[in-house]
Amino acid sequence: MVELIKVNLERECEKIINYLDKKKAWELGFIRYNLFKRMIIHITKIKSLYSVRKIFLHLVNDEIFLKKKNIVRSYLYMFRNPSTPKINKGSVTITFD
């Protein structure tokens, strides 16, 4: 029987962000999910792949990681430098009188 461990999502995300910030992980550029998965397992000591994926997707949704589509129908991710501002994706309409 598989035992599900309850994870404090916010606390774990905070640990991951602090660790990656100290290591300057944005200098790695765009890398595969598998490498970030290993880092998350190392930082949090969580072995459940479901929980690790849940944490990672939470960080992607919060735009902590930037996502780029790869040529072979997969994605690459990059840790966003916390000192750079978030870019709001939206349209701007300019009219001239």
Q: What is the pLDDT of residues 42-58, one digit of tens each?
A: 999 988 899 899 999 99
User: What's residue 83's pLDDT?
Assistant: 76
Domains of the chain with CATH codes: 9-79 (1.10.10)
Measured in whole angstroms, how far is the alpha carbon of residue 76 from the centre of its chain? Answer: 11
Q: Across residues 27-54, what is the average pLDDT?
A: 91
Please report the pLDDT score of residue 39 as a whole number: 92
pTM beyond cutoff 0.85: no
pLDDT at 4: 43
Compute the average pLDDT of residues 12-23: 91
- 8 Å CB contact between 61 and 16: no
C-beta separation of 68 from 85 below 8 A: no
pLDDT of residue 2: 39
6-10, 32-36, 69-73, 91-95: range with highest mean pLDDT: 32-36
* CA-based nearest residue to 82, from 11, 19, 36: 19
